[in-house]
Amino acid sequence: MRLDPSILRITMVHTLKKIASLRNALISHINIKELWEVLNTEQEWIDLDTMTGLCFPESPSCDHESAVVRAFFSNRLYFKFNHDRFFPNTQDQVEQKIVQERETARRNRMIKEGGEWLKNVLTDTPSSPPENKTQIINILKSFYLFQKESKTYNLGKTMLAKAGIDPDEEIFQVLVKLGVFDKNENTDLYKYNISTSFPGNVMERATEMSDSQQEFSDSRMRKDLTGLSLMTIDGQATLDFDDAISIEDHGDHYCLGIHIVDVGHFINKGDSIDQEALVRGSSIYMPDQKIPMIPACLAENLCSLKAGQLRPAISIMVNLSKSCEVIDYEIIPSLIRVERQLTYYDVNIIAQDSKEIIILRDIAEQFRQNRMAAGAVQITLPDINVWVDENNEVTVNRVNRESPGRMLVSEIMIMANWLMAKFLAQHNAPAIYRSQTAPRERLYRGTEGSLFQNCMQRRLLSRFVLNPEPEHHSGLGLDAYVTSTSPIRKYFDLATQRQIRAVLGLEAPYTMKEIENIIQVLEQPMSCVSKLQFNRHRYWMLKYLEKRIGQKEEAVVLYKKRNTCQILISEYMIECDLPLSGGIDLKPEDLIQITIQHANARKNVLSVFMG
């Protein structure tokens, strides 16, 4: 239909509206679904004239054609539309489109309802939650935790925009208000998929073991060492006691006993508890939470070297000269009973008076000297213990790792691990050996390094390597090394202990391939454990510093960047950036004073300025 351009504009507008109204009215006479039911088996293109004739059999006009085009343009469910041609979709295509349309409608409804609800939540406006509340919460939780890696990222982003919620600033606050998160929620547990509880079958088996009367059926293979005076030395909060020490003075030599609880006696390879321990890889220790590798009823009871309790052990009996040099050693299965449970503090108090502790310190110091002479790298940095009570009050303590108690335990456990590595190597047993090549650079020798040098030397260490065969460990100055003194807490140690048990005839050994598989399987879990412990320690340290804005502290410059310096606040052993301004020229190792300007634990932010 052509309009006369000479007619008045108002008349033209009226005419166009009339035509549009007519054509829209004609659309209501077109039943696209019925047409598709007739035509979909043909699977051929249908031109506009033919389709118009099918819709309006009696004298179709241009208005009818226009109505057909409009109808098929609006409804793409049954036919593809290409200018003036139509192609019927298949049955499967139609069904898929119906599903997609329903999903789109559901999604749009969720965005609308969810957006309105979340807006009310943020402003504390009373409102009824939508029916799909749980799904909305899961979408928001996934958005916060995984950002663009979330499968529902775009949906969450749209919903937040609808609610007027800043995805960077306000989403965590909304999740706290909804009761999804605590204000100090450890979100890394979700990111790394770490469970704080054990599966039902694991707990059932652990409880059964813990409640049963323990009889040591292999006691004939074990040496009775219950006559020795054994002590454990651990932190004040320790409940899972892996190791104990004994010392005997035989006049012309000393006999040092290092006794490791035989966890392999209780937990069999491949059973439900063992499989769960392999998934976890390690116990996780954080300021506000401990997540054990094995259930607490085992870790803190049956498998723990509790005072007065008979326990199976793997004992490393070391004969040393009066000058504290190793003469020989043997590794044996044993039965032991711990007599005393000391803390590091207890040992520090009696360090100058107890003959036993004096001998143990002499042994530890001589062993360290031997390692240093063999090229070991001694990193001496204080530990910062962060404690969180039930009211989320934070206490920070600086721990001297070189105190008598900590130093002697550290060196004696290194000795035990070295001797177990030698033992396994002599028996050609594959195990989880640790090795390390020489550092990229040596900044100091012995233990004389400054705080700055120790920090930078740690950065220059080569990464340790895990292999089923022994190699040199440069960092420790030892020809072979394993870790097997913490089988309650670390699966690597448990696996290595099982290889020692196998050499002693207590069980079948892992094959080389099985050892390689354990190393591979534990790579990711152990990485997650390391990140989780570091992040949570830093979170609570920043939480502590949030209340110390304006406080002045000493810091050491570690290295320069383009517009900032990386510094270490020595009191808390925490690193942060220091902005450079005003022409100040700082060099690595400079000691400076800084002021804490801002701290935000949730955002992992610590800002300082000089002065």
Query: What pLDDT, on a 0 to 100 scale, did the predictor assign at position 535?
Result: 97
Query: What pLDDT, on a 0 to 100 scale, did the predictor assign at position 363?
Result: 98
| pLDDT at position 469 over 80 | yes
Portion of the chain with pLDDT greater than 70, in percent: 97
Rounded-to-integer distance, Cα 217 and Cα 433, Å: 31
| pLDDT at position 85 over 70 | yes
Query: What pLDDT, on a 0 to 100 scale, did the predictor assign at position 22?
Result: 82
Query: What pLDDT, on a 0 to 100 scale, did the predictor assign at position 428?
Result: 97
Rounded-to-integer distance, Cα 530 and Cα 542, Å: 18
Model confidence band, residue 312 (pLDDT cutoffs 50, 70, 90) = very high
417-453 pLDDT, tens digit per residue, is 999 999 999 999 999 999 999 999 999 988 888 999 9
Q: Considering only CA atoms, which of 610, 476, 474, 482 is closest in space to residue 555?
A: 610
Rounded-to-integer distance, Cα 171 and Cα 167, Å: 5
Distance of alpha carbon 445 from its chain centroid, rounded? 35
| pLDDT at position 219 over 80 | no
Concatenated DSSP letters of 217-243: TTGGGSEE-TTS-EEEEE-TT-----E
CA-to-CA dists, residue 592 to 380, 448, 510, 573, angstroms: 21, 22, 54, 14
Query: What pLDDT, on a 0 to 100 scale, did the predictor assign at position 125?
Result: 84
Instruction: For residue 260, list its beta bridge partners.
Output: 243, 314
Q: Which residues contact 538 (CB under 8 A, 6 or more apart)?
A: 574, 604
| pLDDT at position 82 over 90 | no
| pLDDT at position 412 over 70 | yes
109-168 pLDDT, tens digit per residue, is 999 999 999 988 888 888 888 888 999 999 999 999 999 999 999 999 999 999 999 988
358-397 pLDDT, tens digit per residue, is 999 999 999 999 999 999 999 999 999 999 999 999 999 9
SS (H, E, C) 159-181: HHHHHCCCCCCCHHHHHHHCCCC
| pLDDT at position 2 over 60 | no
| pLDDT at position 218 over 70 | no
| pLDDT at position 501 over 90 | yes
Give the mean pLDDT of 259-279. Answer: 97
Give the mean pLDDT of 90-95. Answer: 92
Rounded-to-integer distance, Cα 48 and Cα 54, Å: 10
Query: Which carries the bigger pLDDT value, residue 12 or residue 284?
Result: 284
Query: What pLDDT, on a 0 to 100 scale, did the predictor assign at position 164?
Result: 92
What is the β-pairing status of strands 326-343 and 223-224?
parallel
Model confidence band, residue 58 (pLDDT cutoffs 50, 70, 90) = confident
| pLDDT at position 591 over 60 | yes
Query: What pLDDT, on a 0 to 100 scale, did the predictor assign at position 149?
Result: 94
| pLDDT at position 6 over 60 | no
The DSSP call for residue 463 is P
Query: What pLDDT, on a 0 to 100 scale, did the predictor assign at position 9?
Result: 65
Instruction: For residue 304, list its beta bridge partners.
Output: none
CA-to-CA dists, residue 496 to 484, 490, 519, angstroms: 6, 10, 11
Distance separating the N- and C-terminal Cα atoms of the chain: 83
Give the mean pLDDT of 252-272. Answer: 97
- Average pLDDT score over the chain: 93
